[in-house]
Amino acid sequence: MSSSSCGASTRAYNRFLLLVAGLGGLLYGIDVGIIAGALPYLEATSGLNAGQLSMIVAAVLLGSVISTLFAGLLSDWMGRKKLMAISGILFVISIPLIALAKGFEPLVLGRLMQGVSAGLIGVVVPLYLAECLGAADRGKGTGMFQWLLTLGIVAAALIGMFFSFRVAEVERLNDAAQLFAFKDRAWRSIFWVSMPPGILFVIGSLLVAESPRWLFRRGRKELAHTALLRSRTAEEAQRELDRMEGALLTERSRASGMGAKVKEPLLQRRYVVPFVLACVILACNQLTGVNSIIGYNATILIQAGLNDAQAHMGYVILTIVNFIMTMGAIALVDRKGRKFLLSLGSAGIIASLICVALMFNRTEKLRVDCREAVTALITADQKATIRFDREQAAALLASRGAAGAAISGGPTTLIAIYSYGDFRAATRAVRSDDRIPTIDITRASCVPPNKVVAFFSNPFANLDAARTAPLKIENALITPIPSARVGWLIAGCIFVFIAFFAVGPGVCVWLALSELMPTRIRSNGMSIALLVNQAVSTTIAAIFLPTVGKYGYATMFFAFAAFTAIYFITAFFFLPETKGRTLEEIEAYFEGKRPG
């Protein structure tokens, strides 16, 4: 084969690798975003209570946590390629299971399978890309994974918006039976639409080569060399194979004094430092607040001063900005480097979060707590329904004297923090000028339906006691709403936040996860680090609404900025630049060696 035809073949295969990786990211993004558009129609037609719906939403997180824990072990046991195919098959099977479901159990099982699929994809695809792509293309490959991940979120948002327009058209017919039937078809159709990318990902996973580094560590040197030749020239493949051989010989020579069957101890600088760095970066990635800012974006913008339609438009703009800026990050990551983009991105995040916090603080410092007045509205069956219109707002504020009078008369929002026994919850933020400004506080909206969900909500809580405990209003906070102009300024700062996140942490976090870990601990180390990431994400999701309800958005955004400052310090002062280095060269760096 001529050198030109060989070069064309490797370029075509590398593009195919990028496509397969992108489809993995697309599935991950769909897993994250698809439920948001389907949930309103599922809630309206399924007959499930709030606790069951919460479990359907949370099942993805539970499945993801479980599979992430074992993804490293599974990828070492069966190989990266097989695990990618299995993760795609699980996603494909989950779609008909959900879309054809007639009750609670198949919905939970299907969503659990989607979570298992997402957890496996989140570990194995970046791992596979790091081990297959050359140093010059590794950033682009992982960037493609993140780029199509954001496309999956955008697609989920647009699909949800499309069906919301169709539902609005059916509502105008004033036919309740027809509306119910259409909503039932809508949430099922939303899931069916997400099936084709899963099928394509499975096909692509079966056509790519196995990871050369996995093959090499299994003693299959010839197969590893063949896999390298699919994505590199013969000279590059031989050079990289020699580096793998050298790294393995070094590892074996260290262990030779301990006996043939004794492995080198893991508590060494070359293993501990990159592992800790990866864990800190992944934890800080969530501590920027990105998942909560995306997940509660509409609620945040309503509190900022926008109406419901504007807030949902703001969410779509947010996902589009994320998608477009990730394209820019792909172009820059192998030119400017990971360290530069993480430092730039985290610095921009800090500035935008502080701006949002300062603007929220201007109105939130005027908020008043009408806990006693709302407590008086609790009924004998330990529920409360609050119609928070202008008249009710004025009545509640009148109970607080001068502080209430200072914000009375203008539009306000109400958030109630309440509890049944050991379980706490927060209502959505409802505006006094909404068309249907009603808050319903019920036991089902707070107390988990079973012990499994209760454990993940509060492992130390007494579920049986909470089922009979009285309703307690802990806070009922009324806050003046800023003008729409301020609302769009806050929205603009949040768009800047997501732009800097996409350029820096959004793309580089997957690279940090896969590049920093030495070969011996890469798969299991990635699983543990990603588990840390998910644990932090879950914790923030659990405390976000109660925290902003009690202390305000300003406090939460200031806290996110403070944690992002730790991110900046870690990236700027401690993270080495990995651009253009092979995985073996990065491993040698942490061992204390410097390139000659």
Q: What pLDDT does 255 receive? A: 58
Cβ contact 314:303 at 8 Å: no
Q: Mean pLDDT, the chain, as a whole number?
A: 82
Q: What pLDDT does 496 receive? A: 96
Q: What pLDDT does 593 receive? A: 59
- Of 348 and 66, more confident: 348
Highest mean pLDDT among 50-54, 156-160, 514-518, 551-555: 551-555
Q: What is the CATH number of the domain that holds 175?
A: 1.20.1250.20
> Which of 204, 203, 202, 229 lies closest to 215 in space, CA to CA?
229
CA angle 347, 348, 352 (to 5 degrees): 120
Cα gap 404→366, rounded to integer Å: 9
Residue 391 has phi, psi (to 5 degrees) of -65, -45
Cβ atoms within 10 Å of 6's Cβ, excluding its own: 14
Cα gap 235→362, rounded to integer Å: 63
The pair of three-digit structure tokens given for residue 491, joined into one six-digit string: 């929205």
Cβ contact 311:301 at 8 Å: yes
Q: Provide the pLDDT confidence category of residue 596 given band limits of 50, 70 and 90.
A: very low
Highest mean pLDDT among 158-167, 334-343, 401-410, 560-569: 560-569
* Sequence letter at residue 3: S
- pLDDT tens digits for 188-215? 888 888 888 889 999 988 988 888 888 8
Residue 449 falls inside a structural domain: yes
Residue 133 falls inside a structural domain: yes
Sign of CA dihedral 328, 332, 334, 340: negative
Residue 378 falls inside a structural domain: yes
The pair of three-digit structure tokens given for residue 26, joined into one six-digit string: 């697309």
Distances (CA, A) of 584 to 55, 76, 134, 581, 587: 44, 18, 12, 8, 5
- pLDDT tens digits for 96-135? 999 998 888 888 899 889 889 988 888 888 888 877 877 6
Cα gap 300→303, rounded to integer Å: 5
- pLDDT tens digits for 486-501? 999 999 999 999 999 9
pLDDT at 468 over 90: yes
Q: Provide the pLDDT confidence category of residue 353 given band limits of 50, 70 and 90.
A: very high
Task: Write down which residue in 439, 458, 480 finishes a domain.
Answer: 480
The pair of three-digit structure tokens given for residue 578, joined into one six-digit string: 């990995």
Residue 510 falls inside a structural domain: no
Residue 341 falls inside a structural domain: no
How many residues can be counted in the chain? 596
Q: What pLDDT does 265 receive? A: 53
* Sequence letter at residue 9: S
The mean-pLDDT minimum among 6-15, 320-329, 586-595 falls in 586-595
Q: Provide the pLDDT confidence category of residue 89 given band limits of 50, 70 and 90.
A: very high
Sign of CA dihedral 152, 153, 159, 160: positive
Residue 12 falls inside a structural domain: yes
Q: Name every residue whose Cβ is closer than 8 Å to that of residue 72 and which is 6 or more positions away in sequence.
A: 123, 523, 524, 525, 526, 527, 528
- pLDDT tens digits for 522-532? 667 777 877 78
Residue 346 falls inside a structural domain: no
Say if residue 196 is exposed, middle or buried (CB neighbours under 10 Å; 0-12, 13-18, 19+): exposed
Task: Count how many domains the chain has.
Answer: 2
Cα gap 88→246, rounded to integer Å: 35
The pairing of strands 471-480 and 368-369 is: antiparallel
Q: Name every residue whose Cβ is closer than 8 Å to that of residue 313 and which is 6 or more positions away in sequence.
A: none
- pLDDT tens digits for 223-277? 888 888 887 878 878 888 888 787 777 766 665 655 544 455 555 666 788 888 8
Q: Give the burial string for 262-299 (b: 16+ CB within 10 Å, else e).
A: eebeeeeebbebbbebbbbbbbbbbbbbbbbbbbbbbb
Task: Write down which residue in 420, 448, 480 finishes a domain.
Answer: 480
**Which domain does 62 fall in, by range?**
1-208
Cα gap 268→520, rounded to integer Å: 13
Task: Write down which residue in 465, 480, 495 finishes a domain.
Answer: 480
- pLDDT tens digits for 279-314? 888 888 889 988 788 777 777 888 888 876 788 788
Cα gap 262→256, rounded to integer Å: 8
The distance in angstroms from the start CA to the end CA of the chain is 35
Mean pLDDT on 353-360: 95
Q: What pLDDT does 355 receive? A: 96
- Torsion on CA atoms 103, 105, 110, 113, rounded to nearest 10: 180
Cα gap 52→107, rounded to integer Å: 10
